[in-house]
C-alpha cells in the first residue's frame, strides 16, 4: 500500500512507522513463531478450508465472505489508478477502469505462474526505486535538520497528533496479519514448517528496511511540498520536482512494482476465494466428482477474477482514499474473523461450531452497525461514533464474548 504509506507519512510523519510498521512486525513475529508451523502442518489451501475442517460448512462460508473483503485489492487498484490519472490526465474513474482491465487480462492469461514470476522481480525493483530517490533528497535539501525545521512538530512524534484510541485501533487492525489469507496460503504451500517460520522472520527485516526508506521519503515530501491537495500522491509529486528523467523512471517503476506485487497476489487470492470457497462450495460441492473438481474450480476462479475486479472498482470509487479503505475494511471484518480462526489452530482453545459461528458473525455485524450509525450521525468522511468509541472495539468485545461463552461450556462439559 505504498501510496497509502505516502499519504499517512505526509499527513502524520513518523507516526506512519509507529502505526504501519511496529504492530505489523509484532504480529508477524507472533504469527511466525506460533502459527506458521501449525498452518504448514495442516496441509490445506485456504482459510475457509481450515474453518470447514475445524467447525462446519456455514462457518466456512461466513469466513469466505469476510476473507473476500479482507483480501480485496481495491486499495491497490486505486493506487495504480491515481498514478495513471497523474500521468495520462484522465479522470480517476477511467484510470481505475483501465488499470483493472490490464490486471485482469494479465492474471486471466497467466494465472498463478504470472503472479509468482513477477513478484520476484517486483521485490527487487521496489527497493531500487526508493534507494535512488533518497540521495537526491539529502543532497538537494539536507538531512534531519532540514526535515525538523520544515514539518509540523507533531510529525516527529509517535502519534502524529492523533488520539491514542485511534492509534490503538490501528494496532488492532494490524492483527490483520494473523488472518491475512496471503500469509496463510504461503504457509500452506511452504516446503516445511521451518521454511514457513523463517521466511516470515526474514521478511520482517526487509520490511523494516523498506519502511525506513518510505517513511523518510514521506517526511521529505511534506518538508519540500507542504501544500499538496492530494497527499496520496506525495511520492510521485516529489519525484516530479526532484528527479531527472531517467532516475524518475526508475522511481516510478519501483513505485508501480511495490503496488503491483500486492495487487496481483490479492486479486488471485480473492478470485480463488470467490471461485473455490464460495461459488463451488455453495452450488457444486455436493454434485461434482473429484475428477472434475479441479477443472471446475479453475474455471470458477477465472470468473472470480472478473467479480473481484468489479468489487475493487466499486470500493475504490466509493472510498477514494487508500487509508480509509484499509481502516474501514479492517475495522469491520477483522473483529469477525480473528478470534475463531486463530483459536482453531489450538485444540485447547478451539470451541464448538455454534460458538465459533456466533463469534464470527456478531463481531463483524457489530462493527459494521457501529460504523454505519457513526456515519449516519456524522458523515462518510467524519463519522460521529457512539461514546466516541471506534467500531473495532465493540466488534472485538462481542466476538470475544461469544467465544468466551463457548470456551466456558467446553470446560464445564469436560
- Judged against a pLDDT cut of 60, whether residue 114 lies above it is answered with no
pLDDT, residue 185, reads 84
- What is the residue-wise DSSP string for 209-238? HHHHHHHHHHHHHHHH-TT-S-GGGHHHHH
* In a domain? residue 380: no
pLDDT, residue 204, reads 94
- Identify the domain containing residue 132 by its residue range: 2-321
Best CA proximity match to 312, nearest among 264, 267, 258, 358: 267
pLDDT, residue 217, reads 95
Cα separation, 191 vs 196, whole angstroms: 8
- From its phi and psi, is residue 350 left (phi > 0), alpha (psi between -120 and 50) or beta? beta
- What percent of the chain has pLDDT above 70? 97
* In a domain? residue 17: yes
pLDDT, residue 97, reads 94
Cα separation, 414 vs 409, whole angstroms: 9
Record the cell numbers describing residue 358, joined without a space.
456466533
Lowest mean pLDDT among 76-80, 229-233, 333-337: 229-233
Give the list of residues 6+ apart from residue 68 with CB closer than 8 angstroms, or none.
Answer: 270, 273, 274, 278, 311
Q: What's the average model confidence in pLDDT over 92-107?
A: 87
Helix ranges, 225-289 (H): 234-242, 245-272
pLDDT tens string 195-204: 999 999 999 9
Query: What does the DSSP 8-state code read for residue 13?
Result: T
The total of other beta-carbon atoms located within 10 Å of residue 240's CB is 14
pLDDT tens string 235-246: 999 999 999 999
Question: Does the predicted TM-score (pTM) go above 0.85?
Answer: yes
Lowest mean pLDDT among 84-88, 122-126, 265-269: 122-126
Angle, vertex CA 406, rays to CA 401 and CA 410, nearest 5? 145
Helix axes 57-70, 353-377, angle to 10 degrees: 40
Cα separation, 248 vs 254, whole angstroms: 10
Q: What's the average model confidence in pLDDT over 39-64?
A: 94
- Judged against a pLDDT cut of 70, whether residue 290 lies above it is answered with no
- Judged against a pLDDT cut of 60, whether residue 115 lies above it is answered with no
* In a domain? residue 353: no
Q: What's the average model confidence in pLDDT over 367-378?
A: 95
Q: What's the average model confidence in pLDDT over 207-233?
A: 92
Q: Which residue has the higher pLDDT, 287 or 248?
A: 248
Range ranked top by mean pLDDT from 57-66, 101-110, 167-176, 285-294: 57-66
Lowest mean pLDDT among 132-141, 156-165, 236-245: 156-165
Is residue 113 very low, low, confident or very high in pLDDT (cuts 50, 70, 90)?
low
CATH number of the domain where residue 226 is located: 1.20.1730.10
* In a domain? residue 328: no
* In a domain? residue 90: yes
* In a domain? residue 360: no
- State the total domains in the chain: 1
The C-alpha cell 469477525 sits at 336
Q: How many residues does the chain have?
A: 414
* In a domain? residue 209: yes
* In a domain? residue 26: yes
- Judged against a pLDDT cut of 90, whether residue 259 lies above it is answered with no
- Judged against a pLDDT cut of 90, whether residue 255 lies above it is answered with no
Lowest mean pLDDT among 158-167, 329-338, 404-413: 158-167
Q: Which residue has the higher pLDDT, 288 or 88?
A: 88
pLDDT, residue 89, reads 86
pLDDT, residue 58, reads 96
Amino acid at each position: 500500500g505504498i501510496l497509502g504509506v505516502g499519504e499517512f507519512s505526509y499527513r502524520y510523519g513518523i507516526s506512519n512507522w509507529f502505526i504501519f510498521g511496529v504492530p505489523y512486525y509484532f504480529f508477524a513475529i507472533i504469527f511466525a513463531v506460533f502459527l506458521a508451523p501449525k498452518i504448514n502442518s495442516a496441509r490445506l489451501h485456504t482459510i475457509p478450508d481450515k474453518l470447514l475442517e475445524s467447525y462446519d460448512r456455514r462457518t466456512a462460508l461466513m469466513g469466505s465472505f469476510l476473507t473476500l473483503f479482507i483480501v480485496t485489492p481495491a486499495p491497490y487498484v486505486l493506487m495504480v489508478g491515481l498514478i495513471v490519472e497523474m500521468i495520462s490526465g484522465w479522470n480517476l474513474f477511467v484510470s481505475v477502469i483501465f488499470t483493472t482491465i490490464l490486471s485482469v487480462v494479465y492474471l486471466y492469461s497467466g494465472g498463478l505462474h504470472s503472479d509468482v514470476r513477477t513478484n520476484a522481480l517486483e521485490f527487487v525493483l521496489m527497493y531500487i526505486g526508493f534507494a535512488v530517490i533518497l540521495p537526491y533528497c539529502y543532497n538537494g535539501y539536507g538531512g534531519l535538520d532540514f526535515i525538523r525545521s520544515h514539518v509540523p512538530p507533531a510529525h516527529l512524534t509517535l502519534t502524529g497528533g492523533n488520539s491514542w484510541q485511534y492509534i490503538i485501533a490501528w494496532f488492532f487492525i494490524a492483527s490483520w496479519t494473523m488472518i491475512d489469507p496471503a500469509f496463510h496460503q504461503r504457509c500452506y504451500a511452504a516446503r516445511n514448517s521451518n521454511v514457513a517460520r523463517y521466511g516470515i522472520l526474514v521478511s520482517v527485516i526487509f520490511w523494516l528496511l523498506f519502511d525506513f526508506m518510505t517513511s523518510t521519503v514521506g517526511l521529505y515530501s511534506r518538508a519540500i511540498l507542504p501544500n499538496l491537495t492530494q497527499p496520496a500522491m506525495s511520492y510521485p509529486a516529489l519525484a516530479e520536482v526532484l528527479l531527472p528523467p531517467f532516475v524518475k523512471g526508475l522511481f516510478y517503476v519501483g513505485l508501480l512494482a511495490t503496488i503491483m506485487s500486492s495487487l496481483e497476489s490479492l486479486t488471485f487470492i480473492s478470485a480463488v476465494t470467490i471461485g473455490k470457497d464460495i461459488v463451488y462450495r455453495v452450488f457444486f460441492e455436493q454434485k461434482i466428482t473429484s475428477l472434475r473438481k479441479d477443472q471446475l474450480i479453475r474455471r470458477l476462479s477465472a470468473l472470480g477474477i472478473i467479480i473481484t475486479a468489479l468489487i475493487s472498482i466499486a470500493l475504490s470509487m466509493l472510498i477514494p482514499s487508500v487509508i480509509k479503505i484499509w481502516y474501514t475494511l479492517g475495522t469491520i471484518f477483522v473483529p469477525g474473523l480473528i478470534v475463531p480462526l486463530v483459536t482453531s489452530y489450538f485444540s485447547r482453545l478451539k470451541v464448538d461450531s455454534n460458538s465459533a459461528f456466533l463469534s464470527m458473525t456478531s463481531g463483524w455485524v457489530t462493527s459494521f452497525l457501529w460504523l454505519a450509525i457513526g456515519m449516519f450521525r456524522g458523515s462518510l468522511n467524519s463519522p460521529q461514533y457512539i461514546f466516541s468509541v471506534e467500531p473495532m472495539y465493540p466488534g472485538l468485545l462481542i466476538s470475544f464474548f461469544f467465544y468466551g461463552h463457548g470456551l466456558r461450556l467446553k470446560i464445564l462439559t469436560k
